[in-house]
Amino acid sequence: MPIPIIVIAGPTGSGKTDTAVAVALAVGGEVVTADSMQVYRGMDIGTAKPTLDERRGVPHHLIDVAAPDAPFTVADYVALADAVIADIAARGRVPIVAGGTGFYLASLVDRLKFPPKPAHTAYRDALAAEDPAVLHARLAEIDPAAAARLHPNDVQRVIRALEIYHFTGQPQSSFEVKPTTDGPYAAQWWGLRTDRAALHERLARRVHTQLDAGLFDEVRALHDAGYPHDLPSMKGITYRQLLGHLHGDYDFPTAVELMIRDNRRYARRQYTWFNADPRIGWIDMDAVGVAGAAGVIVEAWRNSIH
């Protein structure tokens, strides 16, 4: 039988953390985080990881499970989440999957088909020596869908797509869009929505709050520890922009402006992703707040299990 789970999605800054904690406290649940940046250790402020106080005693899983320079894929996430959810359910607790990384959520619930994981170092190294524009043009010939999704400067992912085709004979895009209908979870999907102007203002305030909390020192410590700027972990919002400042690309006020701008753009992309999913029941956070949103989710959950 599929394991019943609650999924709480939405854009960055919409209140997912507080809502998930409130729901967990009401139903006896534990939170499984679905955030592609919170998996990394030592990256706390910039990824908006919930503090111990914010967690209010509710166990949170899949936070701090990888070093910043460790390879971590969506397939890794799904494997870890499967094990955690099975354990939570076996203990009679309610798994609450909460986060804004739509690809993680869809991969977990819909069981997307993944390409082979092993990396072929020699082949990758040979491609890395070529011009990025040439690599992207080559990808456009064999996998137009992947090329349209990837920027030519996103060399690491372009190389990965070329590698998949070279060793499997299939384009990367053929692996990524094969959801199944017989996955292991019976998911109740919820989305948190808020006024866009209000969200934009909240995201700007959060950037300044993160800076006041020591974000710049966090990024500088990662930089001084020798983590390369082209790691996937270092390309996250707030880290990428502050690293650009540390590298002398622009001044600090510009870095702050870019952080705010890119947070807002990310929120818009998240809305676009989640709006396309008809399973999601949307909750107006401006109208009901965290307590109201949690109440809606808890009532629906209790009705579903009786």
pLDDT of residue 109: 94
Determine what percent of the chain is predicted with pLDDT higher than 90: 75
pLDDT digits (tens, 9 = 90+) for 94-127: 999 999 999 899 999 998 766 666 667 888 889 9
114 neighbors 48 (Cβ within 8 angstroms): no
pLDDT of residue 7: 98
Are 163 and 37 in the same domain?
no
- Give me the amino acid identity at 154: D
Are 202 and 276 in the same domain?
yes
The position carrying tokens 């690309």 is 249
Are 140 and 12 in the same domain?
no
Are 20 and 93 in the same domain?
yes
**pLDDT, greater one: 213 or 73:** 213
Are 155 and 193 in the same domain?
no
pLDDT digits (tens, 9 = 90+) for 255-266: 999 999 999 999
- Give me the amino acid identity at 219: V
Residue 285's domain comprises: 3-112+179-304
pLDDT of residue 94: 98
pLDDT of residue 116: 64
The last residue of one of the domains, among 176, 192, 215, is 176
Minimum mean pLDDT among 164-168, 198-202, 238-242: which range?
Answer: 164-168
CATH no. for residue 191? 3.40.50.300
pLDDT of residue 145: 84
**Structure-block tokens of residue 65:** 């499970």
pLDDT digits (tens, 9 = 90+) for 28-53: 999 999 999 999 999 999 999 999 99
- How far apart are alpha carbons 17 and 213 in whole angstroms? 18
306 has a pLDDT exceeding 90:
no
Are 183 and 235 in the same domain?
yes
pLDDT of residue 115: 65
180 has a pLDDT exceeding 60:
no
Are 185 and 92 in the same domain?
yes
Are 240 and 107 in the same domain?
yes
Q: What is the mean pLDDT of residues 66-84?
A: 94
pLDDT of residue 172: 81
Q: What is the mean pLDDT of residues 165-190?
A: 79
Give the chain's domain count. Answer: 2
Q: What is the mean pLDDT of residues 6-27?
A: 97
The mean pLDDT of the chain is 92
CATH no. for residue 163? 1.10.20.140
Are 27 and 75 in the same domain?
yes
Are 159 and 191 in the same domain?
no
